[in-house]
Structure 1
Amino acid sequence: MTTYRATSRTAALLAAGTLTALLAAPGAAAAAGPAPDRRDGPVLDGSGECTFPMKKQIVETPWPLQRVLLDELWQDTKGKGVRVAVIDTGVDDVNPQLQSAVDAKAGKDYLKPDKENPGFGDEQRGKTDGTVDQVGHGTKVAGIIAARPRPGTGFVGLAPEATIIPIRQNDEKNSGKADTMAQAIKWAVDKGAHVINISQDTTQRLDSDSDMAKAVAHAIKNDVVVVASAGNDGMDGALKTTYPAAFPGVLAVASSDRNNERAAFSQAGTFVGVAAPGVDIVSTVPGGGQCVDNGTSFSAPYVAGVAALLRAEHKDWTAAQIVARIEQTAVRSVNGRDNYVGWGVVDPVRALSDAPGTPPSTPTADPGPLKPPAPEPARLALSETPQERSERLATYTLGIGVVLVAVVAGVAVVIRDSRRRREVR
């Protein structure tokens, strides 16, 4: 069976046991060993801790949102009526920014009974609706998509009126399997998901006959936008293929940094569709407050949020057209796509801006700068016209006349001066 891993370094470190103490109690960061590489691991808050629930909110507006004119982005829609399934470690519905966003009745838990994973309080024990998140990973993913505005923080989801379908399919032990992932995707489709976000990946080769491939094909056939993270094993720069991101029709998302370049950890590959911010990402954590993390896990929901806005604004567009629109309007450094950021870094406002006609189902390379007009050859006259000859002769005649007048006048002056000199003598 294929085991799926959450594509943020937090979950990987949890699986290795290095962050268990850190999440268990405040002030335990020192006991957890040396701080992880800031390029490749979770970036914690200023104190070096990322416990949850957080007692304090992050007041500042996160840098990815500082680049987005939210008033312009939301001038037509905030995602109301769109349902986004988050297949992850669960989505907490206690955090105030997610309470009204999560549809617990449509949720599902595919892991062991919660008596073995009791959650954070008695009120969460025994839940099987996908709203228990002991890792915090799925809650962060959901917040980037649909966190509601809240006084005291600059953080908000890109589609703050969308609805989240919570599906718990993985945990800190990386218990997620290929069969439960396939079941989760089918569940999301049955519960009316318009967009599915999967911030998990595996490098094991999966062919078109696998349960996972069939589930993804089922979702796409039902016109669902499927967004998946590319993975965090890109430090060596080598091209790899991860699933489900590489399945046909899935929008695979890499991570970009503040310079719109590929984040060092982001997996490169021929399947990458776009990139989105994945460094120093703020989002919600279970119980309340926000935290900061890195990873393609948090780039994917950024794109899923944009997809939710497009689904709300253009109800007649197909899933393929929405994917193409996101790819076509991305900010590029080349005319086409590359294996590091795909078609470019997602631009939410540009994606939502009015576009003439219906978007194509596949993106196209930029046409490049316009070519200058070809130079026109100079006209070569082999003979002159009668008019040109007359003008030429007239010019000659005039010139000769002027010269003769000047000569005559000069001779007259000489003769006059000569006579005057003789008279004086």
Structure 2
Amino acid sequence: MRESFRPGGTAVTGPARHPSRTVLSGVVAALLATLVVPPAPARAEPKCPAPAGGAAPTETPWALRRLDPASAWRITRGERVTVAVVDSGVSPTHPLLKGQVGEGRDFNGLAQMQGRCDHAGHGTIVAGIIAGRDDTGAPYSGVAPGARILPVRVLPDTQRTNDPGLPVQIAAAIRWAADRDVEVINLSLVTIDHPQLKDAVQYALDKGVVVVAAAGNRAQDQRDLPAYPAAYPGVIAVAGVDREGGHVGSSVSGNYVDIAAPGLDIVGPAPGGQGYLAEPEGGTSFAAAYVSGAAALLRSARPDLTPQQVAYRLTRTADNPPDGHNPQLGYGVVNPYRALTSLLGTRTDPPAGAMPPPASNEDPLGRQWTVALWAAGVATVLAAGLLIARPVVALGRRRGWRPGRRTEPADA
């Protein structure tokens, strides 16, 4: 037996080794030591600078008071429903959205952030309107606080752009979201018409996904032009209303508008902290978010409904304008509680323009006339009976009600 040394200088006892083999082993060990790669420095997490916002609201925003989604929460809060927000990204750090935002995808250069970075703040406000929690202590919540958000980032900011690649990018985002088994896709954005975008919207509808989009905002002195994807068939196009329920002047009007929701003096969660951002000018982007929240409630309570049935129920239970439908408000302001609880066809307050025509040309008082004639006939019979009975009764009283025979003359 011979003593040998392991690296580190610890003496061990083992079988005798050949001197040449020992030298060779030492050389190999030295070479391996020179090949050891030093550990790579930890990669810094990507930063996401975003606006921090201001103080939380001290009272419930007017939009929540107007729609009163909490009245529908006895039925559902939007559980088991995921809403894809195709926008500027959604921050998951705000208390209103903690635990509500899943891992999505970024189509605009920040792939490692999975759609959870929002430089502009737009997508985070939209997500808060749809699915913000109601247990943060602030007088604010989303329409469907039980729903979850799938963030899909396609917009770097909220500036208007004529980038011809944007509709193709949005189309890819819609298809990607539709393949993730979402129930609703919210599109609070506007772009130009494009075949790929139209096909992507139809792809989502065919997969049973409800598609909600902003009807569009027009600048001053700008004409009302169709906005896409809102103007595509099957998409629920949403216009904006103010506190009094009137049409917001900047909201695009058109026959493709289906429904309306609050779109002025909006407030929502900021992506850069625990504050809130105010959007006094609002926009149809936020109006679309309120309708997406109502659609999430419907899909949670009635998962069997098709996108067409969801759209029909939302529009037919809205707080209708006097004429039933117009290019400014569509069928009226969304009403989450009615959408969940109404038995369609039994409303007692249909708008004048929605009243059905008479079923036939029959006299509407025909039945009353028939009843009146029968009553007159019965009254006549009773009167005749009384007239006949009067002399009979008088004669019977004179005779003491005794039966008798007629007396014949003697010479008869």
Task: With the length of structure 2 as denominator, give the TM-score of the two structures.
Answer: 0.70
Residue 374 of structure 1 deviates from its aligned partner by 3.0
Other-structure match for 1:292: 278
> 1:274 & 1:244 partners in 2: Cα distance?
15
> Bigger relative contact order, structure 1 or 2, given CA contacts below 8 A and separation 6+?
1
What do the CA deviations read for 1:265-293 (whole angstroms, capped 9, x no partner)? 11000100000011111211102221221
The separation in 2 between residues aligned to 1:267 and 1:149, in whole angstroms, is 32
Output aligned runs, 1:13-412, within 5 Å: 52-104=51-103, 107-112=104-109, 114=110, 127-172=112-157, 174=161, 177-202=166-191, 204-206=192-194, 210-233=195-218, 239-287=224-272, 288-293=274-279, 294-355=282-343, 366-367=354-355, 373-374=364-365
- Asked if the contact 1:92–1:139 (Cα under 8 Å) also holds between the matched residues in 2, the reply is yes
- Asked whether the 8 Å contact 1:325–1:351 carries over to 2, the reply is yes
Q: What's the CA shift for 1:310?
A: 0.5
Q: CA deviation at 1:392?
A: 9.2
Structure 1 residue 90, shift from structure 2 partner: 0.5
**More displaced 10-residue stretch of structure 1: 166-175 or 293-302:** 166-175
- Residues 283-316 of structure 1, C-alpha deviations (whole Å, 9 max, x = no match): 1110222122100000001000000010000011
Q: 1:145-168: CA deviations, max 9, x gaps? A: 001124441110001111100000
Are the aligned partners of 2:193 and 2:229 in contact in 1 as well (CA < 8 Å)? no
Letter in 2 for 1:62: P
2: CA distance, partners of 1:390 / 1:314? 66
CA spacing shift, 1:73–1:370, aligned 2, 3 Å: farther
Verify the 8 A CA contact 2:54 2:277 in the aligned structure 1: no
1: CA distance, partners of 2:358 / 2:244: 28
Equivalent residues of 1:335, 1:368 under 8 A apart = no
What is the alpha-carbon distance in structure 2 between the residues aligned to residue 158 and residue 196 of structure 1?
Answer: 15
Q: CA deviation at 1:257?
A: 1.0
SS in 2 for 1:311: helix
Distance in 1 separating the partners of 2:381 and 2:289: 79
Provide structure 1 residue ranges, at least 5 long, that are not aligned to the other structure.
Answer: 1-23, 25-50, 115-125, 358-364, 396-425
Does the CA contact (< 8 Å) of 1:101 and 1:164 recur in 2?
yes
Unpaired segments ≥5 residues, structure 2: 1-48, 346-352, 391-412
In the aligned structure 2, how far is the partner of 1:243 from the partner of 1:356? 30
Give the 3-state SS of the residue equivalent to 2:253 in structure 1.
coil
Identity of aligned residues (%): 40
Deviation at 1:205, TM superposition (A): 4.1
Distance 1:81 1:388, change over 3 A: closer
The Cα shift of 1:386 comes to 9.7
Question: 1:386 & 1:182 partners in 2: Cα distance?
Answer: 82
**SS of residue paired to 2:277:** strand
CA 1:247 to 1:387, structure 2 compared with 1: closer, same or farther past 3 Å? Answer: closer
Kindly state the Cα deviation for residue 60 of structure 1 after the two structures are TM-superposed.
Answer: 1.1
CA distance 1:201–1:67, change in 2 (3 Å) = same
Judged with a 3 Å threshold, the aligned counterparts in structure 2 of structure 1 residues 130 and 390 are, in CA distance, closer, same or farther, namely: closer
Q: What secondary structure sits across from 1:310 in the alignment? A: helix
SS in 1 for 2:267: strand
- Distance across 2 between alignment mates of 1:80 and 1:205: 34
Q: CA deviation at 1:366?
A: 3.1
- Go from structure 1 to structure 2 and tell me whether the alpha carbon gap of 1:273 and 1:390 turns closer, same or farther (over 3 Å shift): closer
Q: Report the aligned-residue RMSD.
A: 3.2
Distance 2:51 2:107 in 1: 23
The one-letter amino acid paired with 2:173 is A
Q: Which moved more, 1:214-223 or 1:229-238?
A: 229-238
- Change in Cα spacing, 1:94 to 1:335, as seen in structure 2 (3 Å) is same
- Deviation string 1:72-99 (CA, Å, 9 cap, x unpaired) is 2100211111010000000111111112
Instruction: Please tell me whether Structure 1 or Structure 2 has the larger radius of gyration of its CA atoms.
Output: 2
Distance 1:232 1:390 in 2: 81
